[in-house]
Each structure stands twice: as structure tokens, then as C-alpha cells.
Amino acid sequence: MSSNPDPAIPEVQPVLLDRDHSILAFNERVLDWAHRREVPLLERLRYLCIVSSNLDEFFEVRAAPHLQAYQSGDLKGLTSVRSFTALSEEAHTLVERQYSLYNDSLTPAFAKAGIEIVSHAERTLAQKRWVREYFEREVRPLLIPVGLDPAHPFPQVANKSLNFIVRLGGKDAFGRENEIAIVKVPRVVPRLIRMPARVSGKRTLLVSLSSVIRAHLASLFPGRDVGQFSQFRVTRHSDLAVDEDDVRNLRTALRRGLERRHYGQAVRLEVSAGCSEFLSAFLLRQFNLPDAALYRVHGPVNLVRLQQLIELVDAPRLLFAPYLASMPKRLASGQSVFEQLRQGDILIHQPFQSFDAVLSFLREAVNDPQVLAIKQTIYRTGSDAQLLDLLREAVRRGKEVTAVVELKARFDEEANINWAESLESVGAQVVYGVVGLKTHAKMLLVTRREGRALVRYAHLSTGNYNPRTARLYTDVSHLTADPELTADVDHVFLHLASHSKLPVLKHLLLAPFQLQRKLIARVVQLGEAAATGAETRIVLKMNSLTDEALILALINAGRRGVHIDLIVRSACTLPPQIPGITHNIRVRSIVGRFLEHSRVFYFRQGAEETLYLSSADWMNRNMLRRIELVWPVNDPVLRQRIVDECLLAYLHDSRDAWELAADGSYSRVRPADGSGGNSAQDALMARYAARGTKEGRWT
């Protein structure tokens, strides 16, 4: 491809793609897996549920500014009447595709496999009796219908909860004609119930909770005529906003915020497709929503809860073949991890290799009497207690344990608060990072006495310390005893705990201090080299690319002749393949069995190459409002391994890859020979699989 060799060519910036539309486009790619007939049936349902879960988060986090702009009549800016209308149309189309797939494809396929969610009209008399008994025993005692009148206004309805609205005829016990009632469904009741064999025979028959309640609504209003009714669900803005400069105790403020999160601004209303205009209009008024925020669905209002079906059905043939990750060969069983790290760095490519290797490192540190101190960041650890128990045990064994806990990790705030309180209760030093910045870096540092010296060992990762997601997300863990790199890590921990001035780091790049500037400088340097005729290459793998300064640097480097490949899983606002502007830039997205999560940055000028691993995506928030780490992989053997496994394999993927066009649309890559194509994830699974069975999926 031709390029302008003049290093002084003026910088240009084309109109960037819209981030929110790019997020919705990612979910279209995920939904494609639910359409694939070669994917096992229960896994197709899982992908359908993943899209619904992603859409919930999209509305909870991204929708409010567009809705507010629409309601105030704003006509200009990134959030406006136009942006709300466009996103609403796209979201409605995606939801319609979901329910069409569920009703027209998945439901008949499940029926053919002997699995059905049976509606009230389809139930036999014996099944109806069983459902009635279940309702009376398990459901009715938890329901409190609320008739609306001046003394009983519309009740508070929690975010994403299941509810019924009912229009009643006749008069209540006091002779009044209040016609609207609300039935809130408790979250503690399972949304799917499997019927016993005595009424289901040899088939796997289930009933939905909404169907159970719908069949017995009349019994909740004795003496009244139940006319129109519908299930409904409201989604609310759920991004916590806490002014850290104005609170004395961040943990207490966040706990109070969590209590309010369930009742934030309404941004979406879902109702049954058959909901009357009268009831839907009534609900829209109650939640102060425009017509475009109403979603009429042909099925359950919360597809996410259909994941329960996967757990209720015992059908391994309808799932992916189990996968057992192997342990890294460099971590030989029965040998000290510390001894092996003194021989060289170790990489763990998760989930193809097991996260248990990281747990083994921490476990040995906890049990080793020569280990004096353990420091760890905690961002998303989930509910798994292994790491927490190990850190608590380290305290009990007299080690100095410091945990940098990020309380503001979205939707994990409560779990992290509980972690912090549990660690503090046994005497660990818990700190919450830097005011105004999320600590997103993933690092673990162990200090060990060896003779007269104190030696450090570190674990750095592109992903979280979460044993569950480590089986579902692709990430790279890096174990090292490099004295300069571990000294840098120690400086970062000291900075986070004491807020002292950060010394000059020898190897680490740290946001928000110099990461964005250093990355831009590296890209510009390659652009200048390319303009003089040097052979240059940039390959970047990340989850999202939306930072305008970095995008501008990439665009201008590409115009000067740098060949750039971007592997961006989700949102990407850089428009590639624009003639004369981004013609040297290609963007592809990989959506596979595992969730792509690793961040790898590769730069080459002539024979000189550098490769970094990172906790950071190229987003403005990661560069300027978070504590993020980028670190080099200097061992040439390990560096080549990452190039082969994380970059080249994905650039040659012809089964799970999608290519981005200049207009923001994605097209699925098809192999030229008409075969099924090559999958990078499948190849890595084949390379690293161990014997045995273990689940491997992402949600």
C-alpha cells in the first residue's frame, strides 16, 4: 500500500466512530454465536443470555446521558435527541433479534431435545395441579399485591426486578374503584422451576415463575375482576457517583450508594408484547420515560434468568466438550516456585493454562517462613474465597500483608468492601489507592529473606485475581524475580499506600502519570522512522480503543507508512481503511468460546522489537483516571511466544474473527477455501489441554 513519506505531512483526524454504537455492534457479534447451529444448544442459550446481560449493563451505565439529552431537547453534542433516537433504534433491533432467535430457533430445538418451558395453556391437568401446589406453597406467601390509591402510591420498583401490573374491575373491600395494582416478585424465588418426573414423564419440563404467577393472578385479588395485565421490568441508571473529596469514609459512602443504586433514574421499560396501550402508557408516565424507551418482548422480560435452565438440565451433550487447563511446564510439581523463578521468568496463558499456578505461587508464599511480606491489588476477585483465605492465613502466620482494594470496581463494590473488612479484621493493612483514581493494575509482590538479602518476586497480569473468570477469560500472567522490575512494583505499592512521590521507574509505565505520553511517543517515533523508509510494524491487542489522542497518533503513524494491525474485542472508534488516511490500519475483533481479555502491545522498527503486557485498554479513563500498569517482556523466547500465541494466531484466525469497515460495520471473516476456518482459541486449547474435565465458558 502507498503512503506519504513526508514526515511533515499535516495531522488529520477523521470523524471517529461512535463508542456506544460500537458496544452494541460487539453484542451483535456475540449474538452470532447463539445463531450458530454447530454450537451446542445450551451454549447457544448461554450466548443469548450473555447479550442480555451486556445490554442490561449498557443501559445501566451508558443510556442516562442520551435519555436526559432527549428529554431536554438537546440537538447538538455527543448526547442529543439524535443520539438517543439512533441508539434506541439499534437497541430495539438487537432485542427483536434476540427474541426472534429464542422463539423461532432455540425453543423448537430444545423441544426436539426433550426440553420445554411449558406455558399454562399447554399443561396437563396433573401439571396444573402441581403448579398450583407449588404456587400456594412457595410463591403466594411472598407476594403482597399493592392496590394504588392516594394512600398507596406507585411502589418503589427495584432495578431489573420482575413485577406485574394488573388492571382490575369492580370495587375493592372499601367500595372504591381503584383499578391498578402492582405485584412485586421477590428475587429469592427461582425464575425457572423444573417439574418432577411424576408429571413430566421422560421429558425435561420446566415452568417459568412469571407463568406460575400469571396463572394465579386472579386468586391474589378475590372479589375483583382481573382484566388487563402484564409482567414488566425497569432498568435504572446504576453507575455510582461518590465525591471522594467530600466524604470522610469512602467505604461508608459507597455502602450508602449501593443501597440507592437499585432505585436510580429509570432508563428502560420492558413489558410483555401483549401489554395493553393503557398499561404501558401508565408505566411510562410513572417512570417518566418516552415511548422509545419501551421494549415489548415476546417472552420473559429477563432473558438473563434463562441461564438457570443450563443448570437445571443434565445434558452434557448439549454443552461444549469439557476443557482442563494444564499447568505451565516451567512450574514443575514438587519444586519451589521461588527456585524456578530464579532460573527465569514464567508466563501463564490463561485459560489455556491454569490460574492454579498463580494460586500455587501465593500459597507457597503464605506457607514459607522466609517470606516476610505480601502485597496485592484487589479489583475484581469475585466471591471465591481462596485468595481471601490465603491472605488471611498469611496475616495469622505473622507476615506483613498489604491489600490495595479498589472499592469502586463497578458492580463489584459490595464484594470488595466485604474483602476489605474481612482482611482488616485479622490485622492486614488495607488501603484504597489514590483519591479520584481507580486502581486497575493487577500485581502481587512477595518479599522473601534469602540469607542476608531480601529478594522480591512478583506476579503481574492483564486480568483480575478471580479464579472463576480466569477459567473463562484469556489473559497473560507474568511471574518474575527480575530485581529491577520487582523494585518498580515495590515503588508503585509504596506510592499507593503512602501517596509519596513516585520515583523514576526503570521498566514499568504507569497511568495516569506517563503512560499515555509514552505510548504516543512510541507511536510517533515509528511514524517518523517509517517516513524515512524504515520497516515498521505495530500490532495491538486490547478490549477497547477509544482514546482520541492515541487514535490520532495511530492514524498519523499509519499515514507515514507504519503498518498497523489492531485486535480490539469490543468498542473501537478508529475507522480503518479510509483511503489516504487510515489505509495502513486494519482492525479485527475476535469473539470465541472464551472472552478475549489480554492486552498486548507490539512495536517493531527494523530488527528492533519491543513488546508490552498491560492492565490497560487504550481508553481515556484508563490513561488519565486509573492506576494502570504496562510492563515489558524482555526475554526473547517469552516475547516470541506471546507474539505467536496472542498476536499472530489471532491475525490468522478465520473462524471467530470479524473485520471492521470504515463505516463502523463488521463482517465475519470467511476462509478462502470454504472450510470451517482456523480458530486461535481452538489451537491454543489443543496445545495446552490437560487430561480430565473442567468447564470453560464466559458470561
Active site residues: 440
The Cα–Cα gap between 391 and 404 comes to 12
Q: State phi, psi for 120 to the nearest 5 degrees.
A: -60, -40
14 secondary structure, DSSP code = P
DSSP calls for 311-376: HH---GGGSPPP--BBPPTTS-TTS-HHHHHTT--EEEEETTB-THHHHHHHHHHHH-TTEEEEEE
Neighbour count for residue 354 (Cβ, 10 Å): 23
Residue-wise over 229-240: b if at least 16 C-beta within 10 A, else e?
Answer: bbbbbbbbbbeb
Closest CA to 465 of 455, 457, 477, 454: 477
Number of residues written out for the chain: 699
- Spell out the alpha helix ranges (H) of 397-481: 413-426
Cell of 487: 523494585
The Cα–Cα gap between 336 and 450 comes to 14
Q: HSE (CB half, 13 Å, CA atoms) of 490? A: 15
The Cα–Cα gap between 379 and 441 comes to 8
Hey, what long-range contacts does 131-140 have (CB within 8 A, 24 or more apart)?
Answer: 131/195, 131/207, 131/212, 131/215, 132/215, 132/216, 134/193, 134/212, 135/212, 135/213, 135/215, 135/216, 138/189, 139/189, 139/209, 139/212, 139/213, 139/216, 140/216, 140/219, 140/220
The Cα–Cα gap between 584 and 562 comes to 7
Strands 180-184 and 146-147: antiparallel
Cell of 504: 523514576
**What stretches of 71-161 adopt beta strand conformation (E)?**
115-117, 146-147
304 secondary structure, DSSP code = G
First to last CA, the chain: 40
CA distances from 29 to 221, 668, 680 (A): 45, 9, 17
Strands 400-405 and 429-431: parallel
Specify which residues 179 forms β-bridges with: none
The Cα–Cα gap between 163 and 183 comes to 6
Helix (H, G, I), strand (E, B) or coil at 43: helix
Cell of 50: 450473555
> Is 598 in contact with 541 (CB distance < 8 Å)?
yes
Burial class (CB in 10 A: 0-12, 13-18, 19+), 364: middle
Closest CA to 600 of 460, 472, 462: 462
CA distances from 541 to 364, 597, 630 (A): 32, 9, 13
Give the contacts of 458 (CB within 8 A, at least 6 positions apart). 443, 444, 445, 446, 479, 480, 481, 485, 486, 489
